[in-house]
Amino acid sequence: MAIVPSACNEAQVGDIAKVVLMPGDPLRAKYVAENYLESPKCFNKVRNMYGFTGTYKGKQISVMGSGMGVPSIGLYSYELFHYFNVEAVIRIGSAGGLADNVKLRDIVVAMTASTNSNYAAQYNFPGLLAPVADYTMLTKAMDSAKSRNVNAIAGSVYTCDQFYYAQPDLASILKKYGHLAIEMETAGLYYTAMAAGKKALSILTITDHLFTGEALTPLERQETLNDMIQVALETAWATI
């Protein structure tokens, strides 16, 4: 058996499905595995970044935490694509709303992600490399949301390296240029997938709004995230 050169994932080749759902929180990965996958098996516990593989409607699907920020999701998704033969990663996370037409509990499907991250500098691309989603997966996610009567909006998001940003006018600038939401991982995932020639999609639930000040309670977050999880699972199932 080939030795996988990873210090962060103890799985062996074949333990992980071709499509992986990636929440930031590893405990959310555990929640998805225990509540939505049949016969889930844990393939990783290193650094408590839990990963599981099970079946959903007869097809093998994995779920694994990514941690917070571009460097973390970049590391884990790179290894999934390059070491474990994963073909597609679907981020399932929370985001702060920016646009007026984005409400609490809405799902945002990220077509692209502006960012202040320097992650793409490593590729020496002649200009600014635009991080984009896989279009086929995006349309499948939108169709899945519609079939479930879940309000989903596709558009641009902003991936920020800082959770606490020093300049107070950031949200207004992002809103001016048409960004739907702000979060911390999507651009890193898209860059990594593009460089690997693989597929990626980011599906986000609006759990708070930067302009209205509204925010979901912990119970509401749990119930709303279930819609996002089910949309992502249906998208993963259709992608295999």
Tens of pLDDT, residue by residue over 4-58, are 899 999 999 999 999 999 999 999 999 999 999 999 999 999 999 999 999 999 9
Catalytic one among 143, 161, 208, 227?
208
Q: What is the pLDDT of residue 20?
A: 99
CA 193/CA 226 separation, integer angstroms = 25
Half-sphere exposure of 112 (CA within 13 A, CB side): 8
Q: Is 169 annotated as catalytic? A: no
Per-residue model confidence (pLDDT) at position 84: 97
CATH of domain 19-239: 3.40.50.1580
**What are the residues facing 42 on neighbouring strands?**
52
C-beta of residue 23 within 8 angstroms of C-beta of residue 66: yes
Does the structure show a pLDDT above 90 at 218?
Answer: no
State if pTM tops 0.75.
yes
Cα-based distances in Å from 195 to 20, 31, 77, 99, 126: 18, 30, 11, 30, 14
**pLDDT score at 158:** 98
pLDDT band at 138 (very low <50, low <70, confident <90, very high): very high
Task: Dump strand ranges (E) for 31-178.
Answer: 38-44, 51-56, 59-64, 88-97, 107-115, 152-159
Any idea where the domains of the chain sit in the sequence?
Answer: 19-239
What pLDDT, on a 0 to 100 scale, did the predictor assign at position 3? 78
**Cα–Cα distance between 162 and 4 in angstroms, integer?**
32
Model confidence at 63: pLDDT above 80: yes
What's residue 2's pLDDT? 66
